[in-house]
Structure 1
Amino acid sequence: MARFIMAGRFQAIGFVIVFALLPLLGLFSNAAIALVALRKGWQEGLLLALIGSIAVAIFTYIEQHNFTFGFLLACIQWMPIILFAWILSQTISWETTLQALLGLSVVVVVVLHIIIPDPSVFWLELLSSTMNNAEVSAENKESLKVLEQGFAEITPLLAGIVVALSSLMIAVALLMARNWQAQLYNPGGFGEEFRELRIGKPAALISLLLVVIAFVTKTHIVLELLICSVAIFLFQGIALIHALVKLHNMHQLWLVAMYLLLVLLNTQMAIMLAAVGIIDSFADFRQRFIKQ
């Protein structure tokens, strides 16, 4: 894939458009844009994203007669990826990049709460409007009503959940792009780089403070910020497990088990790995095991 993307501009454009339009495979188009931005600069990444956004907009116009929606949706998805790919290319530091991503997540959540004073009402009205505009059968409408009831329970935290998932997708796209880049230009380099991934003590301290405030106040916005923190520190927890498996020459099945649990028990496992990542920021388990 990486070799095809880097073969030329037209190949990269074709790859991005095809995977952007395929269900559940949009992450590959995200990673392709990140790879181009990492290797050829943010200008080339921006050009690729704009052309891809126009293609997505044309598709949404054909399907829903709405050009602007598709264009804006694609831009909102790809522009942050270009920004953080540029930060990573300039700093060569996952710590700086992920700290910046966490910082942006916090800002976006706070701004959303300022713009939308009552998030619960906003999200419910949005879902209700979508359901009313959609052409669904009577049976499906009953299912959607059940969905709406469940949706109502998480609406107070939905802004944080959406932002956290977006941050997660950005980080995954960057990791995929960096891995592809290493495969082409520095074979084996990504594994060593990923196993050393850390977010840093300042972010860990803020996360612990959020845990305390959330426990005491139960304030929705604090819980949302904590969710964003979990999404980022999850990667340090995963990197630590990879490092320990490598240091102790353990079987790769340990990693398979970790990812399987992350899929099956996604929320619980993500919280546990993020907690391990936060603790590692202070304990530095990798150095401890190296010394032993």
Structure 2
Amino acid sequence: MTRLGDLLRKQGHFLLENDYYALLYIVICALIPFTAWLSAAIVALVTLRKGWLDGFRGLALGISALLILSLMSMPLFGALVTTMMAFLPCYLAAVVLRATASWRITGGFIVLQALLGIILIHWLTPEFITAQYQYIQVMLKQLEADSSVNSLLDNQNQVIFSNYLVGIQVVSVVVSTLVSLMLARSVQARIFYPGGYRQEMLNFRASGWGVALLILVAIGAYQYNPIALSCLPVLVLYYVCAGLSLSFTILAKGRGISTLLLLVIPLVLVPFVMLPVYVIFGVLDSLFNFRIRLQNVGGK
């Protein structure tokens, strides 16, 4: 891990000192399959350190390169949407993080982008949701899936499944954005603010205002509201991240990646148990700020 950290620090410093190579790396990573997130991370790194204008140059080149590549395999509209989702949310989040130096504000902004995207999908392209559901239904039938899977795709569950699927797809975009932005921030911290990134992650709290939205969305999802069903996975992810941050703060005590793995592994193995636990932790921390209470107890 130390060698990897040193490598990232050296490469990040090299790219920040050489604009030409930074732009070249952005284009190359955008053209290599499955590395667009790394291209977005370089754009975010440049934006965080040098400002929105320098970052915009990298953004324009990355979007252009990926768009040209995507046009070879999909129509113009699909290629444009795919390309924008790969770069734009991360770039905008980097602009906000540079301006505010607050992961709490930046996290809320990322969630806001995701929720607006879901609303636009339901408003502008509702046929996409239905078509996607029908495509998956046909594909599973061709694979001769068992009856239990087919029962999930009957007409009674169409609204639930199709709209949850939209939410999960948006969550994948959010995760990609977070990975790129967190990588960029960690590299920046290694170069200029050693130890600062860890402290930022430990201090992350979700917004208390979002709790009301989470409750409303949960009620709407219970009543099978399409937009609420799509928004619920995004808000759950938001408060799970806050819950993980609180749990890591309590349990870390100088330990590093091993503690984080111990927190994440149960989430992977028993998600239906651990997801509600971390969401509750995140919600309570957003309302009561347990870190201050823990500091007061430790001070005494």
Give TM class, smaller chain: 0.7 to 0.9
Question: Aligned-pair distance for 1:88?
Answer: 1.2
Tell whether 2:209 aligns with 1:206.
Answer: no
Deviates more, 1:262-271 or 1:41-50: 262-271
Provide structure 1 residue ranges, at least 5 long, that are not aligned to the other structure: 132-139
Moved more, 261-270 or 275-284: 261-270
Within-5 A mapping of 1:50-61: 50-61=60-71
Distance 1:109 1:71 in 2: 17
Cα distance in structure 2, aligned partners of 1:212 and 1:141: 33
CA distance in 2, matches of 1:201, 1:229: 12
Alpha-carbon distance between aligned partners in 1 of 2:266 and 2:106, rounded to the nearest angstrom: 27
Amino acid at match of 1:47: R
Alpha-carbon distance in structure 2 between the residues aligned to 1:251 and 1:77: 30
Listed as ranges, the matches of 1:57-76 within 5 Å are: 57-61=67-71, 63-64=72-73, 70=79, 72-76=81-85
Matches of 2:34 and 2:277, distance apart in 1: 26
Contact 1:19 1:28 (C-alpha < 8 Å) held by counterparts: yes
After TM superposition, give the deviation of residue 101 of structure 1 in Å. Answer: 2.0
- Opposite residue 94 of structure 1, the aligned amino acid is W
Q: 2:133 aligns with which of 109, 124, 129?
A: 124
Counterpart of 1:160, as a letter, is G
Structure 1 residue 190 corresponds to structure 2 residue 206: no
Count of residue pairs the alignment pairs up: 279
User: Which among 25, 29, 37 is matched to residue 47 of structure 2?
Assistant: 37
* Cα separation, 1, equivalents of 2:287 and 2:273: 22
8 Å contact 1:198–1:236 — kept in the other structure? yes
Q: Is the 8 A contact 1:182 1:188 kept in 2?
A: yes
**Equivalence for 1:109:** 118
* TM-score for the superposition, normalised by structure 2: 0.79
Classify 1:251/1:190 alpha carbon distance in 2 versus 1 (closer, same or farther; 3 Å): closer
1:64 aligned counterpart, secondary structure: coil
Structure 1 residues 182 and 161: CA distance shift in structure 2, 3 A: same
Written as runs of structure 1 = structure 2, the 5 A alignment for 1:147-186 is 152=153, 154-186=161-193
Q: Which of 227, 234, 243 is the aligned partner of 2:233? A: 227
Note the C-alpha offset of 1:274: 2.9
Report Cα offsets for 1:42-96 as digits up to 9, x if no partner: 22222112212222233345x5386775455223321121111111111112222
Q: Report the alpha carbon displacement of residue 126 of structure 1 after superposing the two structures with TM.
A: 5.9
- Indicate how the Cα distance of structure 1 residues 168 and 83 shifts in structure 2: closer, same or farther if over 3 A, else same: same
Moved more, 10-19 or 80-89: 10-19
Q: Residues of 2 paired with 1:275 and 1:225: CA distance?
A: 18
Question: Amino acid of the residue matched to residue 59 of structure 1?
Answer: L
Q: 1:126 to 1:188 in 2, by over 3 A?
A: same
Say which SS state the counterpart of residue 37 (structure 1) adopts: helix
> Is 1:283 aligned to 2:288, yes or no?
yes
> Partner amino acid for 1:29?
S
Could you tell me whether the CA contact under 8 Å between 1:38 and 1:86 is conserved in 2?
Answer: yes
Q: Tell me the SS of whatever aligns to 2:189.
A: helix
| Equivalent-residue separation in structure 2 for 1:16 and 1:157 (angstroms) | 33
The 1:59–1:290 alpha-carbon spacing in structure 2 relative to 1, beyond 3 Å, is: same
Structure 1 vs Structure 2 CA RMSD: 3.2
Q: Does the CA-based 8 Å contact 1:56-1:71 persist in structure 2?
A: no
CA deviation profile, 1:177-199 (whole Å, cap 9, x unmatched)? 11111011111111111111112
1:260 Cα deviation after fit: 2.9
Tell me if structure 2 keeps the 8 A contact 1:81–1:170: yes
Deviations 1:200-258 (A, max 9, x none): 2111232133334433x232321222211112222212211221123x44675332212
Unaligned runs of 5+ in 2: 1-7
Contact 2:37–2:176 (Cα < 8 Å) also in 1? yes
Which sits farther off after the overlay, 83-92 or 264-273? Answer: 264-273
Letter in 1 for 2:198: G
User: Partner letter of residue 130 of structure 2?
Assistant: V
Using the TM superposition, give the Cα deviation of residue 151 of structure 1 relative to its aligned residue in structure 2, in angstroms.
9.1
Equivalent-residue separation in structure 1 for 2:74 and 2:261 (angstroms)? 44
Identify if the C-alpha distance between structure 1 residues 106 and 290 changes in structure 2 by more than 3 Å, giving closer, same or farther.
same
Map of 1:87 onto structure 2: 96
In structure 1, what residue type is equivalent to 2:58?
Answer: L
- Identity over the aligned pairs, expressed in percent? 23
